[in-house]
Amino acid sequence: MLNILIALISFVVLLKSADIFVDQSVALAKKIKISSFLIGFTLIALGTSLPDLVISTYSTISGHPEIAISTFLGSALVNISLLLGILALFTKYKLVDIDIQKNIPITLILIGLFAGVLTIFNFQMTWIIGICCVILLLLSIYFATKNNHTIIVKGSVKFNALFLLFSFALLILTGKLCVDNILVVASSYNIAETTIGYFILAIGISIPELVTSLTVIRKGNLQLSMGNILGATLINILLISSISSFVRTLDLRDFAIEIIFLVFAIVIFYVFALLGRKRLISKWEGVGLILVYIIFILLQTF
């Protein structure tokens, strides 16, 4: 019982630390005047993905790569299906031309390249492949910079370097506590490590992306939301997997179906984006995206 309590408290602090990091990132970004999509794609996406990064890295170091792999794959899938579906149900989620023409296709191509490279190397992710994935992520940032116009994000939080550093340090500490205690609980109840990563951690860690997206949509800044979702998806797949591969080679052979399913989910989202009237992701399309995640759950169950 004590382990569950510690895990819950550390997880709440983990999410709050990420929230502070996001606010400070936005405040810093305002000083250099970059586009709202790019802020979401880089700083906000990194901030909301920090819990994933900390948990996956520490899980790999502590000898539990299955948790790391299922966490970053699960988080990416939650972002692109469940999270987008929920947003479409409760908001008027409208895309812009640049999303249809470049932002979403580039994300799809990069995830497809990731899956293709792993297939060639028998789903063994070495540090060399990790470096290649980091290069792909940097290329995606370059394209995002070139393709998106400058729109200044509004925000009332003032930048404070100490808050930024403190929130990052707190993320590392609480991430370690969270993983340690979840592993103890999982061991007690014989819960599979992949189940922990795919559902308990992946859904819980995606809460910052959902809260951030709902907040910026209410303020009318849809591009920041789309940047956050696409950026967080790429950070999970290209950056977090790479950092884990620097610790040890990741054996992804048991996760081949999940990787292919992730590509499938992005294709479905892109099709909905193309079919949407006036670039809107309708409520029915939102239901379709949620069904994609339900299908994933059924695959894991049966």
Q: What is the pLDDT of residue 290?
A: 92
- Tokens standing for 245? 């591969």
Residues ≥6 apart with Cβ < 8 Å to 145: 34, 38
| 263-276: average pLDDT | 91
The residue with greater pLDDT, 168 or 145, is 145
pLDDT digits (tens, 9 = 90+) for 164-192: 788 877 877 777 777 677 767 776 777 77
Q: What is the pLDDT of residue 201?
A: 67
Tell whether the model's pLDDT for residue 237 goes beyond 80.
Answer: yes
Q: Is the dihedral of CA 22, 10, 214, 74 positive or negative?
A: positive
The answer, as to whether pTM is greater than 0.85, is no
Q: What is the pLDDT of residue 288?
A: 94
Tell whether the model's pLDDT for residue 97 goes beyond 90.
Answer: no
| 277-299: average pLDDT | 88
Give the span between the Cα atoms of 164 and 64, in whole angstroms: 29
All domains of the chain in start order, with CATH: 2-301 (1.20.1420.30)
pLDDT digits (tens, 9 = 90+) for 9-59: 877 887 777 677 767 777 777 777 777 788 878 877 887 787 788 888 888
| 112-129: average pLDDT | 95
Give the span between the Cα atoms of 206 and 15, in whole angstroms: 9
Among 131, 106, 115, CA closest to 227:
106
